[in-house]
Amino acid sequence: MTAAKAAQVAPDLLTRLAAALAPGAIVEAGAGQAAVDADALTLAALLARRGTADRTGGGLRDRIGDDTEECEGAGAFACGAFERRAFEPDAGAAGATLRLWTNRCCLVVPRSFAQRERFAAAAAASDAAGWPVFLRASGGSAVVHRPGILNISLFAVRRAGTIDIAEAYRMLGARIVAALDVLGVPATLGAVPGSYCDGRFNIVAGGRKLAGTACLLRPVGARIGMLAHAMLAVTGDVAADVVAVARFEAAMGLAPAYDACAHVALAELIDARVGAGADTGGWQRPEAAPSGRR
């Protein structure tokens, strides 16, 4: 494949995945720390706007999926619609707010990493290798962001006691699994030993880690703001991602033991399914598409 065609494939598949996640959604092209910070800012804004509705005595009733939240002073205020107006794109019928975005090449780590003794030196070395390090509010460990990785951030505000971490992950995971199904890629949630930033709620396809997930829970009064985030490898060299993470964590004094084969990019899965004659929701690489189809 020529470089020009390779460049054409990436945005096409990413766009198709974004459309499957949220029809009409715009994928933000972020640039470093500001793109990461936008997640926390969005969550804060959602919590603040809910607070405004509470203070003004307006009713507050929110439908997210099949779960209806009723806050104190509830009347008839459609928070789902409110959020959709305020924060496009959104999660449509699910009622939660969805943000789709990419970032430039970087590593993103929980902000607690910055308190560790070797962080500054490790971050400087990673930066010198082309992978600047940025901080995030959600949990987990070091992950890769780059243009071929789609970040999927799902926001919701719930009354305390009506959501837990597993439910937050399941909300996000169900949405991603459904979108992948549209592309003909069966996926599940689970752990993938040997992957970086491993956890019970990875998006797994063919036994390999397609996306990692993390959450942030922020209590405000009787409510909890939830951010569930996934970084899904659409295209690109996942082995190089593993090298970048392992190098940084080794410099931090950790003992990374990752297997590049534990990771996979969506394009690789699509290629394999196309090669096997499977249904991929009409998606093909450009050079393989019949004339006039694209």
Partner 1 sequence: MTEVTVPTGLWDTGDEAAISAWLYADGDAVAAGAVIAEIMVEKSSFELVAPASGTLAILVAAEIPVVQGQTVARIA
Which range in 104-112, 118-126, 239-247, 248-256 contacts partner 1 by CB under 8 A?
A: 104-112
Name the segment binding partner 1 (CB under 8 A); options: 4-12, 85-93, 108-116, 238-246: 108-116
Question: With CB under 8 A as the contact rule, which of the stretches 51-59, 72-80, 199-207, 233-241 interacts with partner 1?
Answer: 199-207
User: Are the beta carbons of 162 and 69 closer than 8 angstroms?
Assistant: yes
Give dist(CA 70, CA 84) in Å, integer: 18
**Residue 164 within binding range of partner 1, rule CB under 8 A:** yes
Interacting residues of 238 by C-beta distance below 8 A, sequence separation 6+: 260, 263, 264, 265
By the rule CB under 8 A, 195 interacts with partner 1: no
- State the minimum distance, in angstroms, from the CB of residue 4 to partner 1: 38
Out of 11, 32, 59, 139, point to the residue binding partner 1 (CB under 8 A). Answer: 139
Q: Is the dihedral of CA 21, 27, 28, 30 positive or negative?
A: positive
Residues in the chain, how many? Answer: 294
Q: Can you spell out the DSSP letters for 220-254? A: ETTEEEEEEEEEEE-SS-HHHHHHHHHHHHHHTT-
According to CB under 8 A, which one of 18, 71, 149, 197 is a site residue for partner 1? 197
Residue listed under structure tokens 């995971």:
173
- Among residue numbers 207 through 246, which ones bind partner 1 (CB under 8 A)? 213-220, 224
Measured between alpha carbons, how far is 272 from 283 in angstroms, rounded to an integer?
12
Q: Of 12 and 39, which CB lies nearer to partner 1 in the complex structure?
A: 39
Report if residue 201 touches partner 1, rule: CB under 8 A: yes
Cβ contact 54:71 at 8 Å:
yes
x/- mask, partner 1, residues 119-138, rule CB under 8 A, reads: ------------------xx
Interface residues toward partner 1, by CB under 8 A: 110-112, 115, 137-140, 161, 163-166, 168-169, 197, 199-201, 213-220, 224
